[in-house]
């Protein structure tokens, strides 16, 4: 068996937090799909969930390749992500879209910050992050087109979701 390529602490943190974020995203969509399983938006949610599964597999593979331990907070993200998705979907379809808008805005900014820090180092990782950032922005754009900004209590929902997402990022980079 090949020895994993040792990474800097910064790169380990990037892979760990991105794996955690994609894991959380799969759980958010699982929660939304559990509530909206017979909705007109179910196929769209499933498509986005499928993309998040690809993102998660990619970061899982990077964790294995580079010997990066996933965050020990994953059990919390398992429950918390599902609940965030289910609660917003229970409020309304537009609230579920508002959740997507908020999460994807934070994640796109997070990915862009990583790309800025990487510069021309690690072109393979940069390519993955750039591709996934673009797909997250597509999710945000779609959620906006579906009326996510018209959700009841839009400002409150997005404010809370953004704070939770930023906190999860901060914690997952460190633990």
| Domain contains 120 | yes
Numbered residues of the known binding site for Fe cation? 22, 52, 55, 104, 136, 139
| Domain contains 147 | yes
Q: Give tens-digit pLDDT for 28-50.
A: 999 999 999 999 999 999 999 99
Q: Which DSSP category does 149 fall into? A: G
| Domain contains 132 | yes
The yes-or-no verdict on residue 1 having pLDDT over 60 is no
Q: Give tens-digit pLDDT for 110-139.
A: 999 999 999 888 999 999 999 999 999 999
Q: Which of 21, 136, 30, 139 is nearest to 74 (CA)?
A: 21
Percent of all residues in the chain with a pLDDT value above 90, rounded to a whole number: 91
| Domain contains 160 | yes
Average pLDDT, the chain: 95
Q: Are 19 and 60 in contact (CB under 8 A)?
A: yes
The yes-or-no verdict on residue 4 having pLDDT over 90 is no
Q: Give tens-digit pLDDT for 70-85.
A: 999 999 999 999 999 9
| Domain contains 4 | no
Numbered residues of the known binding site? 22, 52, 55, 104, 136, 139
pLDDT score, position 5: 63
Q: Give tens-digit pLDDT for 43-71.
A: 999 999 999 999 999 999 999 999 999 99
| Domain contains 115 | yes
Tokens of 102: 């908020």
3-class secondary structure, 89: helix
Q: Are 63 and 70 in contact (CB under 8 A)?
A: yes
| Domain contains 124 | yes
pLDDT band at 146 (very low <50, low <70, confident <90, very high): very high
Q: Which DSSP category does 175 fall into? A: -
Angle at the Cα of 143 from the Cα atoms of 128 and 154, rounded to 5 degrees = 120
Rounded to an integer, what is the distance from CA 87 to the centroid of its chain? Answer: 17
| Domain contains 1 | no
**Cβ density class 28-58: b for 16+ within 10 Å, e for less:** bbbbbbebbeeeebeebbeebbebbeebbeb
- Helix ranges restricted to H, the chain: 9-35, 42-66, 74-91, 93-118, 123-145, 154-174
pLDDT band at 7 (very low <50, low <70, confident <90, very high): confident
pLDDT score, position 41: 93
- Determine the structural domain holding residue 113 and report its residue range: 9-174
pLDDT score, position 2: 57
3-class secondary structure, 152: coil
CATH number at residue 32: 1.20.1260.10
**What is the C-alpha to C-alpha distance for residues 119 and 116, in angstroms, rounded to an integer?**
5
């Amino acid at each position: 068996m090949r020895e994993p390529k040792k990474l800097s602490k910064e790169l380990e943190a990037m892979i760990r937090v991105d794996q955690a974020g994609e894991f959380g995203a799969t759980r958010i969509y699982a929660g939304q799909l559990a509530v909206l399983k017979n909705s007109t938006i179910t196929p769209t949610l499933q498509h986005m969930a499928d993309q998040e599964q690809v993102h998660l597999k990619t970061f899982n593979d990077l964790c294995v390749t580079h010997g990066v331990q996933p965050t020990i907070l994953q059990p919390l993200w398992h429950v918390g992500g599902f609940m965030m998705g289910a609660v917003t979907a229970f409020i309304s379809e537009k609230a579920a879209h508002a959740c997507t808008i908020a999460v994807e805005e934070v994640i796109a900014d997070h990915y862009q910050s990583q790309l800025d820090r990487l510069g021309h180092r690690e072109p393979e990782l940069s390519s993955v992050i750039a591709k996934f950032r673009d797909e997250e922005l597509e999710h945000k754009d779609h959620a906006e087109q579906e009326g996510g900004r018209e959700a009841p209590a839009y400002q409150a929902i997005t404010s809370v979701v953004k704070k939770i997402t930023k906190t999860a990022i901060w914690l997952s980079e460190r633990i």
